[in-house]
Every structure is written in structure tokens, then in C-alpha cells.
Amino acid sequence: MTESTSRDGQNRPTYCIGVDLGGTKMLAGAVDQAGRVTHIERELTKPEDGAQAVIERLAGLVGRVRGQLEPDAHIEAIAVGVPGGVDSLNGIVDKAPNLGWEHVPLASLLQPLVGAPVVLDNDVRVAVMGEHGYGVGRGAKAMVGIWVGTGIGGGIVIDGRLWQGTRGVAGEIGHSIIDPNGPRCPCGNRGCIEALASRTSIERDVRKEIKKGTKSRILSRMKEKGRVQLASSVVAWALRKEDRAFIKVFRRAQKNLGLFTANLVNALDPEVIVFGGGIAERLGEQFVGPIRDEARKHFLSKRDIERIRIVPTSLGEAAPVAGAALLARLRLGLVTEDEIRSAPRPDATETAQETAVEVGESVALAALAMS
């Protein structure tokens, strides 16, 4: 719990509520001013019900988090990470394919339901903010986040600030072209890193290998687990079982991610490159280690190579929740970047571990409640 002077001048517990709004599920938690995420709640998104129903469900999720806080708790803002293009200045979701949304004024629709200011941005950008503010990137002047999931998204921090770009769309690193003759990407181009190394592309290529006759039990495993799409739990199983088709495809994806990472290092020379998303969260170093080894082969400058840290996320599922809250506080002028950098906090690793444990416990309980 963190007490501070709220806008009405009273000294009381103060939080932002961060929300990770996904195409399948939404996750919300209370974030105190030290970046600790507590009181995690989870809900199915059900985008097929339409935008208004999803927004009402989101408001209910926020209400469940608030209901667990102290009676006098002050909520500074509701901060939402959205899987798609966002006009953050006007609080509008431009396009979120996983939700089936176009030009949805999320902030203005949600605010009267939650009774607090609403701030939104892209889900991966806020996750990168979380890692930069409270996780493995704390204190770094230059950092890149690469989130590998259904697609590949990213975020870039330059001079300690999230880089938005000229048009506010910086960070779409998943559409960097690695092989112009490669497979078609959902964006329409060929050979984007997303088309070569996302979870979706890995599944596509595994199915191709199986059709060519390579032995594999992965499809039967997916069926046993009721999975229509490749999940990180099935990825971990396939590696343990040394599934031939999967390992061949997975190593190729890691190699491509290593080449891509080297390109980012040669262009930006960041202190930290952090990998997030379900596979990175589950596998950690097992996923990132081979990527780092491949990347280092292609660094133009080999000097002080250890200074560039290529690491898995430390906050896991908490990253977008914590990062959304941090971004909201910055945009609403509740805190400055200098204050964030200079504020006394627990060691970044300690904070990340505490948060990860709290999230893990809360998510486990939520999963039991939903089963």
C-alpha cells in the first residue's frame, strides 16, 4: 500500500488500475506508486459480443479490483493497454483486429462507467514501459522490447522516454522485413519478422513440416489439451519431448529473431533488449539464450558486448498492467520522468520478483474460479 496526497488534498492509499485488454482475456490490477501490482482480476473478453459489451465487462473488472482495495483508496486513473492502433491523445482505438474494433472511442465510453480518468495506449508499448519503469530495463537510457505472441510487437525507449515517432506509431518492429521472398505477413508484405517467428508462424511451419512427413506429436497434444492454436504450454511440452518437427521450426524462428535483434543493436545500440509474450514468460532463458547467441555473431562492434543485455521479461503478465499505470501517471501530470528515475524504490529485480509472485498467485486463483 502506498499513501500519498490525492487531488482532494487527503492523505490516503493511492492507486492506478492498469488493464491489459486482449482478444481472449482481460487482466486488471491495482498499481501503487512504487509499481507493485496487486489484486489481480481476470475476465474473458468475448469480443464477439460487440464493443459496448466488452467495455461494460471491462468496467465490471475494474470494479472488482476496486472492491478489494481500502475503503478510502483514491484511484488516480484507469489505464488500458489495447492490442492495436491507438489515438492515445483522443482516447480512441483506431483499429484492433483481435477485438474487431475500428474507431472506438474507448476512453469516453469507459470513463462514465468507472468514474476516473481513462488513458490508453498500445498493449506492447505499455508492457515495455512496465519493464523500463519497474523491471529489467529500469534506469536504461535506451531499450527495445520485443513481444512475441500471435504477432510480434515492440516498443522503443530513447533517452529514457518511450519513443512515439513523428506520427505516434513507432515500435511496429514486427513488420521489419528480414526476407523479402519470405512468407506473406498479415500486413501484406513478405518476410516480416512477424511472418517468420511469431507463434502463429511457428504453428504454420510446424504443420508444413508434418505434411512433408517429419515426425511430430504436437497436433495430437494440442487436441488433447483442447487447443485450437499453439499455446506456450504446448511449446514447452514439445521442447521437453524433443518433438522433431517443432524443434526444427523453433530453432529457425530463434535464428531469425537473433538476426533481427542484431539489426536493432547495430541501428540503436541499446542497453537492454527485453523479450516478452507468452513463450518468453514460460521459457525464459531457454527461449532468449539462443537468440542472444545468434545476435552476438552479427554485432558490427564486438567491443563491450556484455554491456548489451538481451533478456526475458521479469514482470511477465504484470508488465502491461504496471506500464499502463505508469504511462497514465505521466500523461496526467501526476508524476514526472525525473521523479520516477529518482524515486527511492526496492531493487528492480526484487520488485519484479514480488510482482511476478503476486500475479502468479492471483492468476492461478482466477483460473480456478473461471474453471
Q: Looking at the structure, do residues 95 and 147 belong to the same domain, yes or no?
A: no
**pLDDT per residue as tens digits for the range 145-159:** 999 988 899 999 999
Count CB-CB contacts under 10 A for residue 217.
16
Quick check: is 134 in a domain? no
CA gap 53, 59 in Å, rounded: 10
Q: Looking at the structure, do residues 198 and 257 belong to the same domain, yes or no?
A: yes
- The number of angstroms, rounded, from the C-alpha of 303 to the middle of its chain's C-alpha atoms is 31
Structural domain boundaries, residue 144:
139-312
Q: How many residues does the chain have?
A: 371
Q: What does the radius of gyration of the chain's CA atoms come to, in whole angstroms?
A: 20
- Helix 199-211 to helix 244-268 angle (10° resolution) is 140
**pLDDT per residue as tens digits for the range 340-364:** 666 655 443 344 445 444 444 443 3
Using CA atoms, how far residue 13 sits from 71, 143, 321, 331, in Å, is: 9, 32, 18, 21
Classify burial at 48, counting beta carbons within 10 Å of its beta carbon; exposed 0-12, middle 13-18, buried 19 or more. Answer: exposed
Q: Looking at the structure, do residues 159 and 241 belong to the same domain, yes or no?
A: yes
Q: How many domains does the chain have?
A: 2
**pLDDT per residue as tens digits for the range 235-247:** 999 999 999 999 9
238 within 8 A of 246, measured Cβ to Cβ: yes
Average pLDDT on 56-83 reads 96
- Average pLDDT of every residue of the chain: 88
Nearest residue to 42 via CA among 362, 274, 263: 362
Domain holding 269: CATH number?
3.30.420.40
37 within 8 A of 358, measured Cβ to Cβ: yes
